[in-house]
Amino acid sequence: MKSRAKECPRSVRYAFWLIVIFLLLWILFFGQNSFWNTMLLHRKVDKLEQEAQYLKAVNDSLSKENARLKTDPEAAEKAAREQFGLTKPDEKVFRFVPAREDK
């Protein structure tokens, strides 16, 4: 003898599948710790790590430049002349301005 279990009504089956689909969507896309938000946070972390690496490289180059300017008098003089336009006494500076292009 085969015993048949009672079949659920269609509305109960539809409700069950709707709940399952809703829970899957919530887990994948809408929850605070969803896979979607986790993926976005990983991308943001990667970008911030790249930016931090770039800023560390800039910081290292600036600290080397600072140390060079403190120890090398010729480098300090060159920086003072180029950046601030300083000159020695009785020295003339000529600045050449590029000619305008007529169109």
What predicted TM-score, i.e. pTM, was given to this entire model? 0.56
Percentage, residues of the chain above pLDDT 90: 42
Q: Are 28 and 36 in contact (CB under 8 A)?
A: yes
Nearest Cα to Cα of residue 48 among 36, 60, 56, 58? 56
Nearest of 98, 12, 38, 47 to residue 55 by alpha carbon: 47
Q: Which of 87 and 47 is assigned the larger pLDDT?
A: 47
The answer on pLDDT for 3 being more than 80 is no
Residue 6, pLDDT above cutoff 80: no
**Structural domain boundaries in the chain:** 32-86
Q: What is the per-residue pLDDT for 4?
A: 63
Nearest alpha carbon to residue 37 among 22, 26, 47: 26
CB of 71 within 8 A of CB of 65?
A: no
CB 7 within 8 A of CB 14: no
